[in-house]
Structure 1
């Protein structure tokens, strides 16, 4: 059997079946897997024995037939420290092939989420037209579809507002409302469903106060202390 290494910068979802199968878990970049089946999608087995499907474009096959020994000791601690999220905002420009529109600026800790969004858009054959990303603290927002929350993830670079474009047209906030989903083209529905299945990302169309052009990682709810620290670092 061939082995391979996950090369997607933001990690790769392990699914129960190809394309739209339920997500089993996310594989980190650098994870080693054994390729069980090889088509457009690879059927793979992880070190702990779980089997599922991943997109072949994001796994680099190795000529070796054995896994690299697991990292241990000081090297393992260094790897964990490098991957740990920061309490300080590091706002940078993000670019990728499926993002168009306004300049996208985000916290470095949010880049892995943006990488996954780019992957989802590629799989669904849609483009993400950015309308808003990181916002400056204390600056008023004009023209917002939904009034900004006081603890908005936009303030710490962990959110993006967008429209979608595909071969079937351009889709804005009015088009993307939750109630319209059954009438939207298949590729748009597929992209949104991938976000919903992701263990970290949220689609604003599912919020109580619906905001269908919004995507974030729920940092303001799942780690309030880190959100506070990141905001304080921007003031």
Structure 2
């Protein structure tokens, strides 16, 4: 079996990832130092990025790199989140044990705002059929390793699904906002700005307003891949 080859980008202002060599559609601008798997070795390298996206980059702006190493001690341990006494609820909330600490932080914030978070999706298989999605599921989703949730919010009798959350302008808190709108805005702003490494999907390039995760697939790609392999092979 042929050994996999890797490279890193070496272009301070970023390197264009194209759908085909020379003048192909620009798929993304890769950050300097991005780790890529080399799929085809010519002047224009066919590569795969850490999100599984394939394209072409100029070999002039790359350096050889070793394959990513496995992260020692990383294990996937899926648990059922115990929602009793929590402001987080759902039929079955299955997450990785390492993600529980973030749900504890989220629960504390929800309680200060008197909000309820209803989980609609947690751990799921990579090949699981998904219906009624807000956006197309990511190829390297944090759902696959139990580090993501899809959710709705509730304040009193007011229910906030994707449509209603999208209608909110969370960049502004107006004095005439209903209390429920104001509390939801405060939670989403906290999630987007002050809860790192947690991310709110409403800030993604393709917004997903009922999604949150801890960006494990970006911040620790080796750990993500290890957990993915341990869970699903």
The answer, yes or no, to whether TM exceeds 0.5 is: yes
Please tell me the TM-score bracket, short chain as reference.
0.5 to 0.7
Partner of 1:202: 199
Alpha carbons of 1:100 and 1:177: their partners in 2 closer, same or farther (altered >3 Å)?
same
**Gap regions ≥5 residues in structure 2:** 1-70
Is residue 136 from structure 1 mapped to residue 132 from structure 2 by the alignment?
no
- Paired with 1:209 and 1:177, the residues of 2 have a C-alpha distance of 12
Whether the 8 Å contact between 2:168 and 2:185 is mirrored in structure 1 is no
Alpha carbons of 1:179 and 1:122: their partners in 2 closer, same or farther (altered >3 Å)?
closer
Whether the 8 Å contact between 1:205 and 1:213 is mirrored in structure 2 is yes
**Gap regions ≥5 residues in structure 1:** 1-83
Partner of 1:102: 91
Q: TM-score, normalised by structure 2?
A: 0.61
2:155 to 158, 163, 166: 166
- Residue 86 of structure 1, CA deviation: 5.1
SS in structure 1 at match of 2:136? coil
- Paired with 1:166 and 1:99, the residues of 2 have a C-alpha distance of 12
1:192 to 148, 172, 188: 188
Whether the 8 Å contact between 1:129 and 1:164 is mirrored in structure 2 is yes
Whether the 8 Å contact between 1:137 and 1:234 is mirrored in structure 2 is no
- Paired with 1:171 and 1:231, the residues of 2 have a C-alpha distance of 31
The runs of at least 4 aligned residues of structure 1 exceeding 6 Å deviation read: none
Is residue 212 from structure 1 mapped to residue 199 from structure 2 by the alignment?
no
- Paired with 2:119 and 2:77, the residues of 1 have a C-alpha distance of 20
- Paired with 1:210 and 1:228, the residues of 2 have a C-alpha distance of 25
Alpha carbons of 1:143 and 1:190: their partners in 2 closer, same or farther (altered >3 Å)?
same
**What is the CA RMSD across the aligned residues, in angstroms?**
1.9
- Paired with 2:169 and 2:72, the residues of 1 have a C-alpha distance of 36
Larger Rg: 2
2:142 to 153, 158, 183: 153
Q: TM-score, normalised by structure 1?
A: 0.61
Partner of 2:109: 120
- Paired with 1:170 and 1:215, the residues of 2 have a C-alpha distance of 18
Equivalent residue pairs, number: 152
- Residue 144 of structure 1, CA deviation: 1.3
- Residue 178 of structure 1, CA deviation: 7.0
- Paired with 1:140 and 1:230, the residues of 2 have a C-alpha distance of 21
- Paired with 1:86 and 1:201, the residues of 2 have a C-alpha distance of 22
